[in-house]
């Protein structure tokens, strides 16, 4: 009778599976990216980086220039800009104070009032100014320009008024322009700027006041000879009532 040979089983050593570092790295990067996008941190970082690189385009009043006004637009960014729109805006229904710079002949109406040559209504040429639209403003440079007068009468100058200047700029570079549009939709950037000015004695002063009568109130305060005029009394009364 033959004997069967016993098979001896050789124990196998345990096999350890080594982690894939590249896979883990990719997973970590993906998770971080998802977190940044979902939490809004990426948008904030992108906006902050853009603002740091780009800077801003600023506006400054320089001086009265003849019957018009000289302003300076400064591009403080390292990228060329295109001025898309530049407008001077007059608030509706505001009262203005002008003075006459030379002797003129007025006509007395049947009801005892005085009528100026050409009528008592004056046109404001500044609100039609569009010459800056589409103009290129090179990086880290400025441009001076003239805004038309606030009256089409050569013998009238403003003493008290409020005007706003609105301008829009956009990068001339297509890639930066696309980024600007993305940031604008996200609410992290605005390519439009609005600056409100008090025009006192033909000088433009930036203001944060929302009152259409603020310029008249300041002019009346600084000029005793007109402080008793009806328009000044109305301004003072409105101030006491909290309308200004």
In which band, very low, low, confident or very high, does the pLDDT at 196 lie, cut at 50, 70 and 90?
A: very high
Read off the CATH number of the domain in which 150 is found.
Answer: 2.60.40
Per-residue pLDDT at 36: 47
- The total of other beta-carbon atoms located within 10 Å of residue 160's CB is 28
pLDDT of residue 102: 87
112 lies in the same domain as 230? no
Residues 132 and 152 in one domain: yes
Query: Are 92 and 203 in a shared domain?
Result: yes
- Answer whether residue 31 is part of any domain: no
Determine, yes or no, domain membership for 237: yes
Residue at 155 is within a domain: yes
Mean pLDDT value across residues 229-240: 66
Residue 111 lies in a domain: yes
Flag the least confident range among 57-71, 145-159, 222-236.
Answer: 222-236
Comparing 114 with 161, the larger pLDDT belongs to: 161
How far apart, in whole angstroms, are the C-alpha atoms of residue 131 and residue 76? 21
List the structure tokens of 93: 């229904």
Contact 96, 158 (CB under 8 A): yes
Q: Are 199 and 184 in contact (CB under 8 A)?
A: no
Range of the domain at 105: 56-175+189-208
Structural domain count, the chain: 2
pLDDT at 52 over 50: no
User: Of 104-113, 142-151, 203-212, 233-242, which one has max mean pLDDT?
Assistant: 142-151
Digit-coded pLDDT (tens) for 168-194:
998 888 787 777 777 666 665 667 899
Whether 217 is covered by a domain: the verdict is yes
Q: Count other C-beta atoms under 10 Å from residue 98's C-beta.
A: 16
Q: Say yes or no: 228 and 171 in one domain.
A: no
- pLDDT for 90-139, tens place per residue? 888 788 888 888 888 888 888 888 888 877 778 899 999 999 999 999 99
pLDDT at residue 3 in the model: 52
Q: Are 142 and 136 in contact (CB under 8 A)?
A: no
Q: Which of 53, 55, 51, 58 has its CA nearest to residue 143? A: 58
The answer to pTM > 0.75 is no
């Amino acid at each position: 009778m033959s004997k069967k040979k016993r098979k001896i089983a050789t124990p196998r050593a345990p096999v350890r599976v080594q982690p894939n570092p590249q896979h883990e790295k990719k997973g970590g990067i993906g998770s971080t990216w998802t977190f940044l996008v979902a939490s809004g941190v990426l948008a904030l970082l992108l906006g902050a980086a853009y603002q740091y690189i780009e800077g801003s385009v600023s506006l400054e009043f320089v001086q009265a220039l003849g019957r018009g006004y000289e302003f300076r637009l400064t591009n403080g960014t390292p990228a060329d800009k295109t001025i898309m729109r530049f407008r001077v805006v007059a608030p509706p229904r505001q009262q203005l104070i002008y003075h006459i710079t030379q002797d003129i002949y007025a006509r007395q109406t049947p009801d005892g009032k005085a009528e100026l040559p050409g009528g008592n209504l004056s046109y404001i040429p500044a609100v039609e100014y569009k010459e800056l639209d589409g103009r290129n403003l090179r990086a880290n440079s400025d441009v001076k320009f003239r805004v038309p007068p606030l009256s089409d009468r050569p013998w009238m100058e403003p003493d008290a008024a409020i005007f706003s200047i609105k301008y829009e700029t956009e990068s001339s570079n297509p890639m930066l322009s696309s980024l600007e549009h993305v940031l604008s939709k996200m609410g992290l950037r605005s390519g439009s700027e609005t600056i409100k000015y008090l025009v006192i004695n033909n000088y433009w002063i930036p203001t944060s006041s929302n009152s259409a009568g603020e310029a008249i109130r300041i002019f009346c305060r600084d000029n005793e000879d007109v402080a008793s005029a009806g328009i000044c009394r109305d301004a003072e009364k409105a101030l006491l009532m909290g309308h200004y």
